[in-house]
Amino acid sequence: MAPTSVKVFGSPTSAEVARVLMCLFEKDVEFQLIRVDAYHGAKRMPQYLKLQPRGEALTFEDDNLTLSESRGILRHISHKYAKQGNPDLIGSGALERASIEQWLQTEAQSFDVPSAEMVYSLAFLPPAMPRQHQNGNGNGNGNGYGNNNGNGMSNGMGKGIVNGTVNGTVNASTKRVLAGAPPGTTKEKEEEMRRLFEKSQRELEKLLDIYEQRLEEAAYLAGDKFTIADLSHLPNADRLASDPRSRRMFERRRNVSRWWEDVSRRESWAYVKSLQRPPSSNGADADATDAQNGQKRVDGDNDSKLQRNQYGDNDNNHQRNQYGEAKDYQQGRPSADGRY
């Protein structure tokens, strides 16, 4: 096979990388994914550090062009590959493109930071959140997380918990784990994350009210077609909409809820989410799962060596027809280049 000119370095779980992967799938651009864990600097590949000495989460190569900012990459892909895949991502006229750019900037400047902060804060907060924090309406009972029985512990915690103790004694950190806080989370850390959650929620609630009004007028943010302005929201919004503690921000707004149901069900996003799943340690089960997802594992490198052929050629590679009626998936040959 001829080498592909497009390479993506990074982890699909990164919001920056996920945006770019979804755009490539939307545009039917063949690419190679080289998985890089940005959190393990000492283990990063020397080749990657030559491209990004500071070790950014994303690096994108297209022939001799190297980019690292995800929204700039979305623009590049949409312009360069305008005649293939989804033709609407970047718009066709000056007014349409101006609207797309306006909402893409809104996502970058007003949605990205508070949504990322909320995702981060939720990792440190207990699964049972008080209603005032979930709803953002200040109508909670103010007695802390979950249904508190007045003795410092939540109801229904099981045997051995009497009057806020376990077998008579319990320290503060154990109480917090039993109440739902992640292990190792200190009281100070949880309080800091609660404040961050509330700050992020206030900002997002105001922004989503603006989205609600806009989506009363149009199917999508920039008009009547799905564009990179919508696409750019997917990574962070998906995490918030998947968590019961933040989901109601979307559900309470009729137009935002309708928009989210539409954009989150796109086939291109399903492909990205399939790449975000960690590889299984059970070889047989993993082979079966990967085959169902149109992927082939390769011994020695389960993360990166997958194939994808979206053009429908009968070469035993994986086939994907995004816009046709028939979507034929075939088990492909092992590949040494991690191509999609």
* pLDDT, tens digit (0-9, with 9 covering 90-100), for 61-70: 999 999 999 9
Highest mean pLDDT among 48-62, 78-92, 156-170, 322-336: 78-92
Q: What is the DSSP letter of 8?
A: E
Are residues 58 and 17 in contact, defined by beta-carbon separation less than 8 angstroms? yes
CA proximity to 267, closest of 305, 225, 302, 234? 234
Encode 196-229: b = buried (16+ Cβ within 10 Å), e = exposed.
Answer: bbeebbebbbebbeebbebbeeeebbbbebbbbb
Query: CA-CA distance, 127 to 146, in Å (whole number)?
Result: 8
Highest mean pLDDT among 146-160, 199-213, 266-280: 199-213
Tell me how crowded residue 298 is: count the other CB atoms within 10 A of its CB.
16
Query: CA-CA distance, 179 to 236, in Å (whole number)?
Result: 27
Decide the pairing of beta strands 6-9 and 32-34. parallel
- In the structure, what pLDDT confidence band is assigned to residue 57 with cuts at 50, 70 and 90? confident
CA proximity to 289, closest of 50, 140, 302? 302
Q: What is the DSSP letter of 14?
A: S
**CA quadruple 174, 177, 182, 183: dihedral sign:** positive
Residue-level pLDDT at 4: 78
Name the β-bridge partners of 160. none
317 CB burial (10 A radius; 0-12, 13-18, 19+) = buried
What is the average pLDDT across 284-311? 36
Q: Rounded to two decimals, what is the model's pTM?
A: 0.69
46 CB burial (10 A radius; 0-12, 13-18, 19+) = exposed
> Would you say residue 133 has pLDDT above 70?
no
Residue-level pLDDT at 34: 93
> Would you say residue 184 has pLDDT above 90?
no
Helical spans, DSSP H, in the chain: 15-26, 46-51, 70-80, 94-106, 112-122, 131-135, 172-178, 187-217, 228-231, 234-241, 244-251, 254-264, 267-276, 283-292
> Would you say residue 130 has pLDDT above 80?
no
